[in-house]
Amino acid sequence: MKKLSVQDYNFILKILYGLALCLAALALKRQIAFYNSALLTIAQPLNVTEVRRVALTFDDGPHPVYTEQLLDGLKDRGVVATFFVTGEHAELHPDIIKRMQDEGHLIGNHTYSHIQLTKSNREKFKQELVKTNEILQEITGDEVLYVRPPYGAWDKKLETELNMFPILWSIDPLDWCKSNASCIAQAVLKKVGENDIILMHDYYKSSVEASLMVVDELQKQGYEFVTVDKLLFD
């Protein structure tokens, strides 16, 4: 057998070196794949548990019959909402305001007499907000931080003057002018998405029925209902 030269040894060493590199690369690739699958296993439950949140808001109440019906329905479904009540109606039905608070709903201010802010009535508008805050605070013991200005008319300076924050809406099914609950529910469901604030009125039977239809459908789709403060600031 021919004796191996130095060049032959070098050649064999190079091949062995190359093979070692290949094996190391393969091992590294397997290791990376393992870490990736481990990361995926960790990340997966996060994706699954990440729920879409939405807020139901009700204006103009409380109504002696329909608001109670709504509260019953929300309670059955384990859902909380936000109620922007007028001082006038809160004064008439303090027991319903107390029930809202006891059942975990958020209560906001919708002025005393449903007054619309204009250029000429700023002082009266402000007085109505203060008066309504006092009425609500008397019933619940809590400071009122949120306001839904009727018709969305607002003056930003009032936020610092009253230490209140305005909450508008992103979905308005115009429930107050429709009497068919399914139509109202469909108007919401067609548009609704994550983090939407739905505007409803607990002053009408059809709105209350529509709201519960919306809850049933969105719960099926995996939505969670939260109060507006949670939706905006948590």
Binding mask 121-160 for Zn ion (x = CB under 5 A): -----------------------------x----------
Residues 6+ apart with CB under 8 A from 185: 173, 210, 211, 213, 214, 217
149 or 209: CB nearest Zn ion: 149
DSSP 135: H
60 or 202: CB nearest Zn ion: 60
Q: Which of 54, 56, 58, 59 binds Zn ion (CB under 5 A)?
A: 59
8 is catalytic: no
Nearest CA to 115 out of 128, 103, 106 is that of: 128
Per the residue annotation, which of 63, 196, 201, 202 is the catalytic one? 201
| Binding flag, residue 202, Zn ion (CB under 5 A) | no
| Cα radius of gyration (the chain) | 30
What is the distance between the terminal CA atoms of the chain, rounded to a whole angstrom? 81
The CA distance from 154 to 116, in Å, is 9
Smallest gap from Cβ 46 to Zn ion, in A, equals 39
Q: Which of 60, 68, 128, 175 binds Zn ion (CB under 5 A)?
A: 60
- The backbone region for 73, taken as left when phi is positive above 0, alpha when psi lies in -120 to 50, beta otherwise, is alpha
Q: E strands within 78-222?
A: 82-85, 106-109, 146-147, 165-166, 197-201
Per the residue annotation, which of 59, 60, 175, 202 is the catalytic one? 59
Confirm if 62 and 89 have CB atoms less than 8 A apart.
Answer: yes
Specify the stretch interacting with Zn ion by CB under 5 A; choose among 12-20, 43-51, 54-62, 162-170.
54-62
57 or 227: CB nearest Zn ion: 57
35 or 151: CB nearest Zn ion: 151
Binding mask 81-120 for Zn ion (x = CB under 5 A): ----------------------------------------
Packing angle, helices 66-77 and 94-102, rounded to 10? 10
Residue sitting closest to Zn ion (CB):
59
The phi, psi pair for 182, rounded to 5°, reads -65, -40
105 is catalytic: no
108 or 150: CB nearest Zn ion: 150
Q: Which residues bind Zn ion (CB under 5 A)?
A: 59-60, 150
Return the active site residues.
59, 201
